[in-house]
Chains A and B, each alone.
Chain A
Amino acid sequence: DGGITQSPKYLFRKEGQNVTLSCEQNLNHDAMYWYRQDPGQGLRLIYYSQIVNDFQKGDIAEGYSVSREKKESFPLTVTSAQKNPTAFYLCASSRGLTAAADTIYFGEGSWLTVV
């Protein structure tokens, strides 16, 4: 089945640790995104990528890093510089059209908790 797979579903991070969240899609989409969801704040864009080997900062990129070495994969690293990383992280993708906006599809999300 086509879709977006995020792993792990639950992750615990100790203070000072870097952790990486995996995102894989088999939809043949060009564009991929990472959003962070906090209660009462909706979803906020961390990073997005339009093509392989290219990515741009979103609204809250500080303390995060990404890579896009393959079309199918867009991992997110939460670094120790992110002071409040506990949140629900959502990966998404879209076909990436040059015309009007396209439908964005979301994965099932990953819960990150700092312990």
Chain B
Amino acid sequence: QQQVKQSPQSLIVQKGGISIINCAYENTAFDYFPWYQQFPGKGPALLIAIRPDVSEKKEGRFTISFNKSAKQFSLHIMDSQPGDSATYFCAASVNTGTASKLTFGTGTRLQVTL
């Protein structure tokens, strides 16, 4: 019940195109859904996050769409740039008091070509 399923495993998008990464979850107790961006050899960095009471959140070129009834959420990267080439992880967490236990998807390797 803790699993978060992420697709696709890899994605190639032309510069200026839209990158879309999808995630689905089972556990309805999840109450926080962040997306992390990771460059090779580096730690993940928070990109954008959403809570289940909101259906969409936009920050610059990055948008999260959230469908509570379907238990799905997705990341859209508009006007994709070569600098966006990285691995993206969706995650979900359950509040455990003072700590946040994140369950991660398996990651999507995005390559943005010129």
Which residue of B is nearest A106, CB measured?
B43
Expressed in whole angstroms, the Cα–Cα distance for A90 and B36 within the complex equals: 13
Bits for A24-60, please: 1 = Cβ < 8 Å to B, else 0.
Answer: 0000001101000000111111001111000010110
Q: Could you tell me which residues of chain B, from 69 to 108, have a CB within 8 Å of some CB in chain A? A: 89, 93-107
Query: Which of B43, B49, B103 has a CB less than 8 Å from the CB of A103?
Result: B49
Expressed in whole angstroms, the Cα–Cα distance for A104 and B96 within the complex equals: 14
Residues of A within 8 A of B97 (CB): 50, 98
Residues of B within 8 A of A100 (CB): 31-32, 51, 95
A-B contact count (CB 8 A): 76
B42 at the A interface (CB under 8 A): yes
Bits for A84-96, please: 1 = Cβ < 8 Å to B, else 0.
Answer: 0000001010101
Check if B95 sits within 8 Å of A42, measured CB to CB.
no
A97 at the B interface (CB under 8 A): yes
A101-B95, A105-B46, A108-B43 are known contacts. Are A43 and B104 too (CB-CB below 8 A)? yes
Expressed in whole angstroms, the Cα–Cα distance for A40 and B8 within the complex equals: 12
B17 at the A interface (CB under 8 A): no
A42-B105, A44-B104, A105-B46 are known contacts. Are A96 and B99 too (CB-CB below 8 A)? yes
Which residue of B is nearest A108, CB measured?
B43
Check if A58 sits within 8 Å of B101, measured CB to CB.
yes
Check if A101 sits within 8 Å of B32, measured CB to CB.
yes
Most buried by B among A51, A98, A101, A102: A101
Expressed in whole angstroms, the Cα–Cα distance for A108 and B34 within the complex equals: 19
Q: Could you tell me which residues of chain A, from 67 to 87, have a CB within 8 Å of some CB in chain B? A: none
9 more A-B residue pairs beyond the given contacts A101-B94, A101-B100, with a C-beta to C-beta distance below 8 A = A30-B98, A40-B107, A42-B105, A50-B99, A94-B99, A98-B98, A100-B95, A104-B100, A104-B102
